[in-house]
Amino acid sequence: MIPNSVKLSDNKKSILMYYDGNKHLILSSTKLRTLSPSAENKKNLEKPDFSEYQNVSILRIESVGNYAIRIVFDDGHNTGIYSWEYLHEIGSKF
């Protein structure tokens, strides 16, 4: 599902994704950082530890073509590319 818009919250602790049909997802910075699809984070995906990234904020969101976004976190992590499908999946599962 491709969102109509993606916005960073004012407190930089979540992103808001808006879809057709008045549907939306709110994904916290903690969830997004913990579940980053980057190669360096693969070990954490096997057994996610959400407490490790509770204080992480999002600095900015960057477009990656028409299929994904890159999220830059204040802990320096910026290598995860989050496809629209992956964002919807983690928003629905966790």
Q: Residue 63: its pLDDT value, please?
A: 96
Q: Residue 90: its pLDDT value, please?
A: 94
In the chain, the number of structural domains is 1
Residue of 34, 18, 19 whose CA lies nearest to 71: 34
Q: Residue 94: its pLDDT value, please?
A: 78
Residue 10's CATH number: 3.30.2020.30
Q: What is the pLDDT along the chain (94 residues), one digit of tens a residue?
A: 899 999 999 999 999 999 999 999 999 999 999 999 999 898 888 889 999 999 999 999 999 999 999 999 999 999 999 999 999 999 988 7
d(CA 39, CA 23): 31
Domain that holds residue 45: 5-93
